[in-house]
Structure 1
C-alpha cells in the first residue's frame, strides 16, 4: 500500500510563485542582456529590470531559486549576474 504522506508535493506548488512575479508578462530581453551589450546600455537595461524586481512580491523566492540553481545569466530577485557570483563564489567542478 502506498503511503501518500511520503510522496513529493505536486510540482506546481514548487513553481507557482512565478505566477505572482512582477516580471510576468514583461519583455524577457529586459532581464537578459543581448550578446555584446556593454557599458551604459548594459547598466541602464539592468537598472530597469531591478526596478521591476524592487516591487515584486516574490523577489526573495526568485533570488533563492537563482542562487540554489546557480543561475548564470540575467537579473533574478533583484541581483545581476556579477552580484550573484559574488555571493556564491567561483564555480568548481567536482573531481578536478
Structure 2
C-alpha cells in the first residue's frame, strides 16, 4: 500500500514560512464577546503580521477554499472574507459557475 505523504506535505508546505508560525493564536482569533475598539485593534495587529508575511496569498486561499469562518487569514478578517463572498456579482452567478 502506498501513501500520499509527500504530496500531502507539499500541499501544506507554505505554512513553514508563515510569519505567524509559533505565535499565540489569540492575535488572529477573537475571544468570546470581543467587540468594538478591542476587536479592531486585535484585527489590525493580525493584519500587520500578515502584511509582512511571505505566504499571505496561500494562507488566504486556504481560508477561502476550506471555508474558515473565524479568524484572520492572509490579512483578511472573517467579516472581510464574508463580504467578499457576498458581493452582488457573486450572488448573481449560479453556484455551478463559481
Q: Structure 1-normalised TM-score? A: 0.82
Alignment root-mean-square deviation, CA? 2.0
Aligned residues: 85
Q: Distance in 2 between matches of 1:69 and 1:41?
A: 27
1:29 aligned to which of 26, 41, 54:
26
Post-superposition CA distance 1:21-71 (Å, at most 9, x none): 000011100000000000010000010000000000000000011011111
Alignment gaps of 5+ in structure 2: 88-98
1:88 aligned to which of 79, 85, 89:
85
**Structure with a larger share of its residues in helix:** 2
Q: Distance in 1 between matches of 2:75 and 2:68?
A: 13
- SS of the residue corresponding to residue 22 of structure 2 reads coil
Pair member with larger Rg? 1
Q: Structure 2-normalised TM-score? A: 0.80
Alignment gaps of 5+ in structure 1: 1-6, 91-96
